[in-house]
Structure 1
């Protein structure tokens, strides 16, 4: 165990002990803006809001929705959002290097035995022979921005297959979906609540699983400004406690299925208030159910995955070699695994 991980584990002992506790409303309607995507993977925040876990901690939360990870990181740095959940990106890391942001926990993870993110091919590329990741060489791959999680996933898959990809930055997830459906790009990776409905509708083809190439991938993290992490500990602990309670409910209802069918149905209806809101409930339900990946208990953070991601960003020249995990992460709030 590295010194960094050891310090994080020691610092997290107190945090781990307090996260599951019933709420302590000591903050008296402290207003917060929480950044999110309209993804099932952001359900912990939605559950914490809808079931009063934030309110019970004295937090008056409103959501600010984004369509990509890097604009969310900028919003945290500028003060337009207080906390957010999204993937590690080059933008987030660079802002951390400037002293503007800090990762304080983990959220969505790839886990063996749980259906996770999918590798997709356009129908045109599939018909031309792209029926598995082994055929990716020379193909185009959709990303939001250079240094996004999509860029990282594409590169890791391509390296494993000995493939060379052409990356197409399209800025927003809806634009990537449109490009894949129309055949303007050949391939992409995305969470199952988006991938499976697209495939079921015949708009794209599933050709593989991200977890086969990046096992135990810490897909998303919880983060805030560096000043909040350092100077507003009580508020940050309260946010994480509520978030963790939301994650527990979500995992029990839709991942582990230990809460029963009625709880699962209630959870899907709750998430539908935020995800696939343009669809009728019955049409949205399969995608939400199929998108249920693990959200880490107690917002634990997989430091091995974070280190791997940092190593890739450095190798690609997207961040400075001097940046370390300590630059990006405050390990004192949650268990480090």
Structure 2
């Protein structure tokens, strides 16, 4: 295996930052109210990564779908989904959002109770929001013409043993390469742009809007659309803590009702992989303001897909799980099927109606 490299060290103060975020978000919600799905006065603590795939959460908040269900939803920011696992397990968070990883499955194997309850970000054709980028000078010079030319080169990923690693493996396999036929550099997505710019990495799997920023700066080109190599990969999911899904099931249902209401809006606005559909202007404004980026940058970027009925691609999760197993990064066997709970999304669809009947895609 080639030597793993890192562009920059992570701050050891992240734990303190998380603690502050959670303290700001509050230490607990109101007790579960008794009236079925009557959620008036309920507080839900949700972890976010402040990324474009958090769009549905921002839409549900700003368009009043959470408050319409009687909920007060407080967001706590994290630099990765992996950092949410411990707070979800301890009950400090009710909801999490991010990409399943080997660390996620290992936490479950150690007894942390979590549930995957809905799609948050997947990549069907047209929605390849995490493309493979290659440094422009390598492409222009002809040094990299095909995927096979990446052999031995430095490829940036957000972290080790995540769904992104499985994406890269699928793309490399199409070029006759194994996952470890390239050098892996693990850094956050914004740092991918810097690494491509200064030559510290040769290629990267980079999510939006960082991918579009790299293109606009002229330092990289979109070399491969992941959807062409790994169709409909389940890259990010909505998570419920075990306590939230079981002990506060009515409130968890209200949260899902609002979340899928937002999903319908997002599906209409981003139909075909472009933020030009009905309601797109409002959604571009909401999301760009929430994550503090230029609205036009967000509009030009490739959006993630989020199934308007919340369906989770379990087959994709199993593919990634098998990749982790082959890489030897799983501590114990875990049932993927047992982790997925589609009941909340199914009940929300019964309330909202199927997506096709409400204008979703």
TM-score category (smaller protein): 0.7 to 0.9
- Mind listing any 5+ residue stretches in structure 2 that lack a counterpart? 1-35, 347-361
1:192 to partner: Cα distance:
4.0
* Mapped partners of 2:253, 2:108: distance in 1: 20
Instruction: Give runs of ≥4 in structure 1 deviating > 6 Å.
Output: 257-262
Q: Residue 328 of structure 1 is aligned with which of 336, 339, 347?
A: 339
Query: 1:238, CA displacement in angstroms?
Result: 1.2
RMSD: 2.5
Equivalent in the alignment of 1:81: 93
- Name whichever of 172-181 and 46-55 sits farther off: 172-181
SS at match of 1:239: helix
Aligned-pair distance for 1:243? Answer: 0.7
Give 1:158 deviation, angstroms.
1.9
Deviation at 1:177, TM superposition (A): 3.3
What does residue 30 of structure 1 align with? 42
Paired residue for 1:95, among 88, 95, 107? 107
Question: Shift in Å at residue 269 of structure 1?
Answer: 0.9
Match in the other structure for 1:12: none
Q: Within 1, Cα distance between the matches of 2:267 and 2:253? A: 21
- Partner residue of 1:159? 173
Whether the aligned pair in 2 keeps the contact of 1:67 and 1:173 (CA below 8 Å) is no
User: Paired residue for 1:13?
Assistant: none
* Aligned counterpart in structure 1 of residue 143 of structure 2, from 129, 147, 170: 129
Match among 96, 117, 122 for residue 104 of structure 1: 117
In the alignment, is the contact (CA less than 8 A) between 2:100 and 2:236 conserved in 1?
A: yes
Structure 1: tracts of 5 or more residues without a match: 1-23
Say which structure, 1 or 2, has more relative contact order (CA 8 Å, 6+ apart): 1
Measure the CA separation in 2 of the matches of 1:285 and 1:333: 35
Matched, 1:268 2:284: yes
Q: Answer yes or no: is the 8 Å Cα contact 1:37–1:68 preserved in 2.
A: yes
Could you say what secondary structure the match of 2:72 adopts?
strand
1:95-148 residue CA offsets vs partner (Å, 9 max, x unmatched)? 222232221222211112445431111345444712442322111221232112
In the alignment, the residues of structure 1 paired with residue 70 and residue 279 of structure 2 have an alpha-carbon distance, to the nearest angstrom, of: 26
Is residue 2:304 matched to residue 1:293? yes
Is the contact made by 1:35 and 1:84 (CA closer than 8 Å) also made in structure 2?
A: yes
Equivalences for residues 220-259 of structure 1 within 5 A: 220-255=236-271
Give the alignment of 1:140-179 within 5 angstroms. Answer: 140-163=154-177, 164-170=181-187, 172-179=188-195
Contact 1:300–1:334, Cα closer than 8 Å, also in 2: yes
Count of paired positions: 306
Question: TM-score under structure 2 normalisation?
Answer: 0.77
Residues 99 and 235, structure 2, Cα contact 8 Å, conserved in 1: yes
Q: Is contact 1:191–1:291 with CA below 8 Å preserved after alignment? A: no
The TM-score, its normalising length taken from structure 1, stands at 0.82
Distance 2:193 2:222 in 1: 13
Aligned equivalents of 2:275 and 2:332: distance in 1? 46
| Distance change >3 Å, CA 248–CA 258, structure 1 → 2 | farther
